[in-house]
Amino acid sequence: MQATPPLRSRCTVCGVPERLWHTACPAKRRLGFSHVVRTAPCIAWYSRITVARRTGRGSFVQGQEAQYQSGTALFTRRSLCYRGKAAWTLLPVEGDGLVRIDCHTHFYPAGYLREIERTSDHALLVRDEAGNLVLHYAGDYNVLAPAHHSLEARLQDMARAEIDMAILSLTTPGVHVERPDRAIALARIINDEFAGIQRAYPDRFRCLATLPLETPEVAAYELERAVRELGLVGAMVFSNVNGRPIDAPEFWPVFEAAEALDVPLMIHPTAPAFANYLSDYRLVALLGFAYDTTMVAVRMVLGGVLDRFPRLTLIQTHLGGTLPYLAERVQRGYRAYPELRGRLQRDPMDYFREMYLDTVLFDPACLLLGLAFVGEDRLLLGSDHPHQVGDIERAPRVIEELPISPHAKR
């Protein structure tokens, strides 16, 4: 049984005492608002600002500072976000190119690494023979490139790949693997540092919040704090939380908060519950992540999450795993099996095609399948930088190589 969330304040429209994920205000319902006041600078904020433009190709960084001159191109509702719909598709800017926003990148804030190095029951930070930091955790490990923890290195990599802006998020193992009190503290440390990065580099970085998912009610409050107080643009959640699928009702307070705040959730894979079968050959990263990505997308639909939260914006990473390939089979099964038929308000394919997919799968044939599946407005540039399996330079280049119209590439 979920505890009743404490009263926060009174509604600014009707004066009724409000709780985070309750929407009792008739006035706001008529206006299409939830009880959480939409004053946060979400990703849609970018649709109202002038974007700085490059001084020249490949000339972003001199030392640690990006060199800009004032530009005149504006992001529009289609190009970035409208009411939380984080379509990081791009429109042309004045001059010689596009504003490239890499929506799938990862960063370990210094405070997080210090805490993991100091004490952690579930992660181990060491150096390998080459001097690289390596973060070990159950089922897998990450070799940290300089750009995982150095903004200077990150800006240099972005300059080389001609990426204008990066959306930063934490990556595996996440904080939910820690005990609950420690996970809450780590999430606050990470989100505070992410907010500092946004303030220091407002034209280069935006960040997704980290949430202590083991305690969903607290995670919902932390999402609200991260968005309303810190200005983060959404959150990244994992496909499962210590083996429990993210679509489980216990995590619904997070979905309700995201819908109320009108910000997107990026669903990132982690080691599947059966990861012991994937311990060889780096199969967790190579196949397990794709499996869990596909599984969570299907569960979110068949489990009724998107009926319960129809305005929730979801970004599925890694081109949705195998979803574009297998969605028709799910649709066919929904119509064929009596225990599935009729449990949803719409056809499963309708929900799938409302999700956003990123391009972290650099095979042209796969990208064309993803493009045909969701359409150009819901396919987002992503590189998985700076992971070993990511490719910040290949990610935009493969888009340019696709046999599609210039309009579709934007």
| pLDDT tens, residue by residue, 12-42 | 434 444 444 334 444 333 333 333 333 333 3
Note the pLDDT of residue 396: 94
d(CA 321, CA 272): 13
In a domain, residue 8? The reply is: no
CB 54 within 8 A of CB 66: no
Note the pLDDT of residue 407: 78
In a domain, residue 81? The reply is: yes
**Residue among 157, 83, 184, 90 nearest 410 (CA):** 90
Non-local CB neighbours of 217 within 8 Å, separated by 6+ positions:
2, 3, 5, 253
Note the pLDDT of residue 98: 67
CATH number, domain of 272, equals 3.20.20.140
Residues in the chain, pLDDT under 70: 1-98, 274-277
In a domain, residue 203? The reply is: yes
In a domain, residue 10? The reply is: no
d(CA 118, CA 282): 27
In a domain, residue 9? The reply is: no
> Number of folded domains in the chain?
1
In a domain, residue 207? The reply is: yes
d(CA 72, CA 74): 6
Note the pLDDT of residue 34: 36
The pair of structure tokens assigned to 232 is 């983060």
In a domain, residue 363? The reply is: yes
Catalytic residues, by residue number, are 384
Question: Which residues constitute the domain of residue 20?
Answer: 16-409
In a domain, residue 283? The reply is: yes
Note the pLDDT of residue 139: 73
Note the pLDDT of residue 25: 42
Note the pLDDT of residue 16: 42
